[in-house]
Amino acid sequence: MDRDGVINEDHGWVGTRERFHWTSNLFGALRRLTDLGYHIFIVTNQSGIARGFYTKTDLHDLMTWVVDEIRKHGGTIDDWRFCPFHPNASIEQYRKTSN
């Protein structure tokens, strides 16, 4: 599953709990998928890291909380992955085009 727009409302560059708002009916849907035996993975482009809006640590802290909250509501996230790169990044180490 994509994160922004699926798991949470897409406000652009959501890297902290303060900006994170769950989408409607998410917990019930993830609980149902979990009960049906599906493996659930989250993938997300996070160019906010490349732009300097938040750090990898901020994202990891947020996603730890996200996974914990989903589990509290009966769902499971088997894994999550992210891409921090952007071709016009303000932080040089993240300036690249990624496939």
Selecting among 2, 35, 68, 79, the annotated active-site residue is 2
Of residues 56, 69, 57, 55, the one with CA closest to residue 20: 69
Q: Which burial class, exposed, middle or buried, applies to 59 when counting CB atoms under 10 A from its CB (0-12, 13-18, 19+)?
A: buried
Q: Is 2 a catalytic residue?
A: yes
Contacts of 48 (CB under 8 A, 6+ apart): 13, 14, 15, 54
Q: Alpha helix (H) ranges present in 1-99? A: 26-35, 47-50, 56-72
Q: Is 61 a catalytic residue?
A: no
Which residues are known to be catalytic? 2, 4
